[in-house]
Amino acid sequence: MVLRKFQISNFKTHTGYSCKLDVTYQLFGLPLGTAPVVLINHALTGNSTVAGENGWWNHLIGKGKAIDLNDVTVLAIDIPGNGFYNSNLIEDYKQFNNSDIARVQKEVIDYLNIERLFAVIGGSLGGQIAWELAVQHPDFIEHLIPIASDWKSTDWVIAQCHIQDQLLANSRKPIEDARKHAMTFYRTPASFKQKFDRTFKEKNLYNIQSWLNHHGGRLSQRFDLESYKLMNWLLLSADVTKGSQTFKEVVKPIKAYIHLIAIDTDGLFLASEVYQTYVALKEIDKNTSYHEVTSIHGHDAFLIEYDQLSTIIQPIFQKQLCHN
C-alpha cells in the first residue's frame, strides 16, 4: 500500500466554512497516464484501500477481475475526516455535504492531471458522491455506476441516519450502539435467520446478539466519533438538486452512461426508488441501464454478492475498453 497525500490549504464548503484539509489517496493498477482511470468511492466505514491483500473490494478489483488492474488505473480517495490514515477529524461536520466531497475529489484529480474518468463507481455513500461528481462535471465521466445508492436521501434514509445521529450524541457507548443499530438495516431478517437461526453463543446470549456486540466493539476500536458523525451526516444530507431544481433538470447535461445497480432486498436504498430514478432518466433520453442483484442480505449485498456484481460490471469494462 502506497498512501499518498494532498493538502488543500483553504477549502471553503457550501456553507462558507473554511478549513485546511489533508486528503489521502491511493493508486492501483497501471501507471497513471498509461490507461483509462477508474475512480472508486468508498462507503461509510470504508477507505482508499480498495484492492490488494487487505482491500475491502478486492473481490471486484484486481488482475483478471471485473475491474481488471491489467487494463486500468484505479484511483481511490479517502473522504476527508473519515478517520483513516491520520486524516483530519472534522468537528463541524454539518458544514460539509457530498457536493463538497466531490469538489475535494476533483481537486485531487486535477492535481494528478487526469483529464477524463473512464468510470466512477461506488456503493452506498460512495454512490451518492459519484452522483455529485457527475452533476458538477457532466462531460468528465464516461460511465457512472452507483451501487445500492441513489442521488438523494429518502425519508427512510434520513430517518435511519437521524436515529444514528441521536445515538452518537446521547449514548454512553455512541459508536458501538450506533453500529449495532446500523447492522439491523444493512441486513435483512432472512439474512439473520440464515446466519444464526436463533442459536446461542453461550447461555442467555444468542449468536445474533454476540455478532452485533462484536461489530459494535470492533468499529469503536478503529473509528473516531467525529468521523462517524460526519459520514452519517453525509449519508443523511444527499440531494443533487439542492432543493432548487428538479432531478431531470440537474442530470440532463450529464454525458455519462449511467448504470444503476440496485439490490432487491435493500432496506436502506430501496430497489423501487432506484428504479424510479431509472424511469426518470429514460424519460429524458439518458443513456442508462438498470440492474438488480438478488440477495437475502439486503444493503450489505454490495459487499457480499461479488459473483453477481462481477457479471454486471465486467461487461461494462470489457466492451468499452476494447473500443478505446
Q: How confident is the model at residue 323 (pLDDT cuts 50, 70, 90)?
A: low
For 64-80, b where at least 16 C-beta lie within 10 A, e where not — what string? ebbbbbebbbbbbbbbb
Mean pLDDT, residues 308-319 taken together: 92
pLDDT of amino acid 293? 98
**Residue among 309, 261, 321, 319 nearest 61 (CA):** 309
In the chain, what percentage of residues exceed pLDDT 70?
98
The DSSP line for 138-156 is TTSEEEEEEES--SB--HH
Q: What percent of the chain is modeled with pLDDT above 90? A: 92
Residues 72 and 29: beta-carbon distance below 8 Å = yes
pLDDT at 322: 61
pLDDT of residue 205: 97
Question: Rounded mean pLDDT of 278-293?
Answer: 98
Q: What is the pLDDT of residue 118?
A: 97
pLDDT at residue 126 greater than cutoff 70:
yes
**pLDDT computed for residue 12 by the predictor:** 96
Model confidence band, residue 197 (pLDDT cutoffs 50, 70, 90): very high
Domains of the chain: residue spans and CATH: 4-153+239-323 (3.40.50.1820), 156-234 (1.10.1740.110)
Mean pLDDT across the stretch 54-77? Answer: 97
Q: Does the pLDDT of residue 270 top 90, yes or no?
A: yes
76 to 69, 122, 253, 296: CA distances (angstroms): 13, 10, 25, 29
